[in-house]
Structure 1
Amino acid sequence: MTVTTQDIQRRLVALGYDLGKSGADGVFGRMTIAAIKKFQADKKLDIQYPGTVGPKTIAALGLDPAQGEALLPPWIAEALRKKGLHERLNNAALRAYLKSDGKALGDPAKLPWCGDFVETVIALALPKEPMIENPYWARNWLKFGVSVSIDRPVMGAIGVVERDTGGHVFFVIGHDKTYWHALGGNQSDSVSIVKILKSRTLGLRFPKTFAIPAKPLPLTAFSGTISTNEA
C-alpha cells in the first residue's frame, strides 16, 4: 500500500482542515496545498518547501513516512485529470481548461498547444512558481525552473525535445533505455502518454518551488505508442 493524495486529504479533514466542497477528491489542488501549509505551520514543521509532502509531513499526519515518496507531484496529478482530452473531439472542454489559468494561446485545433498545456498545469498546481516568458514556445521551457540531469531523471521533470525547427514539451512520468514515457498535450492531438526518443532530448527541467525527489526514476516498461512528430 502507498500513501495517496486522498489518504492525506482524509486525514486533514479529520483534523479539521478545510478542503472546500470537493473534500477528499484525490486532486492535489490549491485548497489541499493551502491546508497542508497551514497544518505544517500549526505543527511547526521545518519544511523547505511548504505545501509539499514528504516524510516529515506524512509522519506528522500519522501516516506511514516510508511511503512519502510514492506520492505523485501535484502537477502530474493535475495533468492526469485531463488525459484523453482531444483538440477536436473535446475542443470546448480543452479550450476552457487551457484558459482556466487566465490566459491561453488560442484554439488548440489550429495552434501547437503542448506549451500551453504544460503552462496551464504548472500555473494551477504551483501558483507561486515563476513562469518563463512565452511558455507557448516549447524550447523556452529550457529556461524554466532548475536543470535535471538526463542521466538521473525524476518523476515530474519537464522534458524538452527537438521537433523539426521547433520543439515539444511534456512531463516525464517514466522511462526505459530508449524512450521517455511522456505525459503531455498535442500528442496524437490529445492529452496522452506516449513514448518519445531520448535521442531527441534538449534538456530536462524541474520547478523551483517543489523539492526534487531524492531518488531517480527506475527503468520501467511501457507499451504505448511511439511518437515521432507531435503536431
Structure 2
Amino acid sequence: MLLTLCAVARTGAAQPQEAGWISYREAYRAMVTFAKYGKAKNFLQNHYQVTPKDPGQSLEGVRLTLTGRTTQLNLPLDPTGRTVLPLLKAAYDENAMLVLNRNASLFTFQPRLSIVPRVDGIYEGQDLRMACDQALQYMRYTDPGYASRQCKGVRFAFVPKSDAAVRIRDPEREVTLVPELGPAFDGEANAGFRVMTYRFADWAERIHVISQNAPVAIAPVIE
C-alpha cells in the first residue's frame, strides 16, 4: 500500500559505491529514524527508494538485493523505485550490503515518506490535510529547512499509460482533476508519471477525494 510524500527525507541518504552496492548500515540508520519517531504518523509510511539520476534512465530490470553472511533477500522495487527495507539486527551487525544490478553511482538512494492509501480509494478531505500535516511535522523533525514550508495539497501519481482519474466531490459539485505528466515526487528526474494534484486552497475541508485506480504514490505537496 502506498500513498506518498512530495517531500523526501534526504537526511542520511546512503552514499553509493562504484561497485554496485551500498552499506546496509547506512540505509538502516536512515530508515530507523521514522520507526522510532514518536509523534503522530498513522497516515504515513516510509520506504527505501532507488531512483536514476538521469531522466532518460529506466528502472526496468533494476534489482536490489540485501546480501550478508546469513542474509539473502530480494527487495522488489515498485514503479517509483521504492521498496520495504527490513530493519534486521543480524544484517546490521554483519555489515551486509545492498547490492544493485547496475552501477550504483548512477542512482540516488534515500528514504521516501508517503501517505498510506485506502483500499476503497475514497479519502476524506480532512484526513488528507491531517496526513500532509503529519508528513510536514516529520520533515521538520528531520530537516530544519522545512520550518518555513506549508502543506499545500496532495499529488496522486499513476503509471504513464494509465487512464486513471481522481475526482473531488462536495455537496454541490463533482470535478475531475486535470491529469499532467510529472514526477511522482518533487525533485525527481523521472517526470513521466500521470499525476493529478488536489490543492487544499481550491476546496472546502469537508469533501471527498475519489481515486478510481490505485495510485503508485500519493505525495503531500509541501511548498
- Tell me whether the two structures share a fold, i.e. TM-score over 0.5: no
Of structures 1 and 2, the one scoring higher in RCO (CA 8 A, sep 6+) is 2
Q: If the length of structure 1 is used for normalisation, what is the TM-score?
A: 0.29
Question: Which structure has greater helix proportion?
Answer: 1
